[in-house]
Amino acid sequence: MKTPWAAVALCVATTSGCHSLTEMPRDEAAALLSALRDGYRKKDLAAYRERLSEDFRGGREAFLSALREEFERYAEIPRTKAHLLSMREVAGGWEARALFRVWGVTGDGTRRYEDRVLRLGFALDGRGELRATRIEPVEQRVVEGPGDGFRERAAEVGLAIRHTPHTPYDEANKKLVPGLYSGAGASAGDVDGDGWPDLLVGDGRQVRFLRNVSGNFVDATAAAGLEGVGKVRGAYLVDVDDDGRLDAFFTTVKQRPRLFLNRGRLRFEEVPGWLEEVPEGNYESACFADLDGDGDLDVYLCRYGIFEKVSFAYPLYNATDGEPDVLLRNDGDRLRPVDAAPARVKAWTLAVCAGDYDGDGDPDLYQVDDFGVNHLWRNDGGWNFTDVSEEAGVTDQGFGMGSCFGDYDGDGDLDILVANVHSSARWIFDDPDFPLPLVADLFLRDYVRDEVDKVLRGNSLLQNQGDGTFVQKAGAAGIERSEWAWGATFFDYDNDGDLDIYCPNGYITGTDPGDT
C-alpha cells in the first residue's frame, strides 16, 4: 500500500539518535530535521526526494507520487510534529519506531489531525549520508471536523493576562529551582450572584479577581480585597463556611494556604484563624468534598516535595521522599488537620480528585503523584481510608499531573481519567552511547528502558468494572499520546450527552524529534 509518510520517517530517522550511532554531528542532524519538517509543512517534494534511498522499499518514485497526492489534499499544513519512540541497530542499518502528527486544513475547509506510529528503516549511502530505506505504518488515527467549535477571544473580553512565576530566574547564577516556576490554576464561579461566572486566577506575584460583566471581564482584584496575594498555585472559588456564597481559597508556595471569606458586595476578607493549625508546605492543589458526611466541605491539600531538601525526587519512577499531604476537617469555624492514612504517605502529589467510585454513598479519593505510583483511597467512614490501589489496578506508575472522575462509558459508575507525561525520551536507552555503569549496561539496559517506557507512555483512562477493579482503556480510546500533559477533565463540549476530554499540555521542546 502506498503511503505518504516518507517525510515523517525521514524526519525521525535523522534525529540525534542517528547522530550518536553514525557519529553524525548533532548540529547537522538538527539542521536536517528542521529542513525536512519545514519542507513537509510547505509541501515541498524536493526536500524529500534526495533523502530516500535508491532501493527504498516499494520504490522511491511511487512513494513520492503518494506524497504528492497527500499534499494536494491539504490547503494548508500549519503544524507538524515528530517524536522518536525507539531505535535499534540491525543488519545493514537501523530500525526505529516514530510518532508523527499533522495538523492541517483540507481544500473544503475541514480541519484534519493525523496521528501515526511508524516502523522505519534507514541506512548510510555510498557517500556516508543517511537515507530512508523503509516505512511501515503500525498505527493510525485520523480526526476530522469543521473546526468551528471554539474561537480564541481572550483579548477581546479582557482576559489577555500573563502569568508571572513566584521567583524570577537568577540569570547570573543560572539557578532554577524546580517547583518555584509552576503555573497557577484558576476557578470560575458566580461570586456576586448576577448569573455570570466570574474568574479567580492564581499567580506567583499577584492573583487576579476578574468580574464578569455581561461576558466581558473587569479587573476587580483591589476592590475585592485580594491585592497583595501572591505565591499562589491553586485558586478556588468554593463555599467553605456554608453560607451560600463562594469564598476564595489559595494553595501556596512554602507557606500556609490562605482563605478569604466572601462577605458579600464583591468583598473578601482573610480569616487566618481558620487555617492556623495547618502546617506550612509546598502546596500544589486542593480538593473539596464532604469526606465525613456532616454536610460541609472538607479539604484535601496536595503537597509536593521540596527540592532544596532532597535535591531531586528519588527514585525518579517511584519516589518516596516527598512531603505528606494534609487532610482538613471543616469544623464550621476552622479547618483542622486530621491524622488519616493519606496524610502519612510521603509523595510528590500534584492533584487529587473525589468521587464515589464504589457507590456506597461517600466520596473516595484518587491521589495523583509525580515521580511514582498513584493511590486510590476508599472512604470507609469516620476518616478511615484504605489504599486499594493495587487490588483495583490503578497504581498507574508514571509522572501524574492531574485526574478526575467521570462516567465516560455511560454505565452508571465512575471511571478515572489521569493526565500523565508522554515523552519520547526513553529512546536514549536504545543508544549504546548512553552512559550506564558497565554492569548495568550488560544486564540492565533493557530493564531500565522498559521501566522508563512505562512511566512515559502517557495518559490513562481507567474503566470501572463495577466490582472494585479498573481496566486500562487509554490506548483503545486513543488518548494516551497527549504529549506532556498537565491536567485533564471530562466535560460534554458538544452537548451530545456523553463526556469528552480536555487535556492541556506542552513543554519546552527542542528542534530534534528525539527531544520531548
Structure-block grid coordinates of residue 149: 467549535
203 and 130 belong to one structural domain? no
What is the reported pLDDT for 176?
52
Residues 250, 135 share a domain:
no
Query: Which of 376, 393, 410 represents a domain boundary (last residue)?
Result: 410
Domain co-membership, 83 together with 194: no
Q: Cell 464578569, residue? A: 212
On whether both 204 and 244 belong to a single domain, the answer is yes
Domain end among 379, 410, 441: 410
Does residue 440 fall inside a structural domain? no
User: Does residue 325 fall inside a structural domain?
Assistant: yes
Cα–Cα dist 51/46, whole Å: 9
Give the number of domains in the chain. 2
Residues 134-193: pLDDT tens digits? 888 898 889 898 877 788 999 999 999 888 877 655 555 445 555 455 678 899 999 999
131 by Cβ neighbours in 10 Å (0-12 / 13-18 / 19+) ranks as buried
Asked whether residue 447 is domain-assigned, the answer is no
Question: At 342, phi and psi to the nearest 5?
Answer: -60, -25
In angstroms, what is the C-alpha Rg of the chain?
26
Same domain, 140 and 167: no
Residue with cell string 513537509: 40
DSSP letter string over 135-163?
Answer: EEEEEEEEEEE-S-S----TGGGT-----
Residue 471 lies in a domain: no
Tell me which of 456 and 233 has the higher pLDDT. 233
Preceding omega of 146 cis (within 30 degrees of 0): no
Q: Tell which of 81, 110, 145 closes a domain.
A: 145
Name the residue type at position 439: V
CA distance 106 to 121: 30
Q: What is the CATH number of the domain that holds 114?
A: 3.10.450
Let me know whether 91 and 185 are in one domain: no
Residues 168 and 239 occupy one common structural domain: yes
Residue 87's DSSP bridge partners are 96
199 and 60 co-located in one domain: no
Residue 467 lies in a domain: no
Domain membership flag for residue 245: yes
Apex 308 CA angle, 232 and 336, nearest 5: 50
Q: Model confidence at 20, in pLDDT bands (50, 70, 90)?
A: very low
Whether 128 contacts 144, CB under 8 Å: no
Please work out, in degrees rounded to the nearest 5, the angle formed at the alpha carbon of residue 197 by the alpha carbons of 195 and 198. Answer: 125
Is a pLDDT exceeding 50 seen at residue 25? no
| Set of cell numbers at residue 254 | 512554602
User: Distance (Å, rounded) from C-alpha 459 to C-alpha 420?
Assistant: 5
The domain containing residue 216 runs over which residues? 163-410
Residue 30 pLDDT level (bands cut at 50, 70, 90): very low
Is 511 inside a domain boundary?
no
Coil, helix or strand at residue 225: coil
Percent of the chain past pLDDT 70, that is, above it, reads 82
Q: Are residues 210 and 75 in the same domain?
A: no
196 and 127 in a common domain: no
Examine residue 110 and state whether it is found in any structural domain, yes or no.
Answer: yes
* 262 and 330 together in one domain: yes
Instruction: Please indicate, yes or no, whether residues 111 and 194 belong to a single structural domain of this protein.
Output: no
Cell for 29? 542532524
Among the residues of 403-444, which ranges form H helices?
Answer: 438-443
**Beta pairing, strands 247-252 & 298-303:** unpaired
Of the candidates 252, 237, 243, 241, the one whose C-alpha atom is nearest the C-alpha of residue 285 is 252
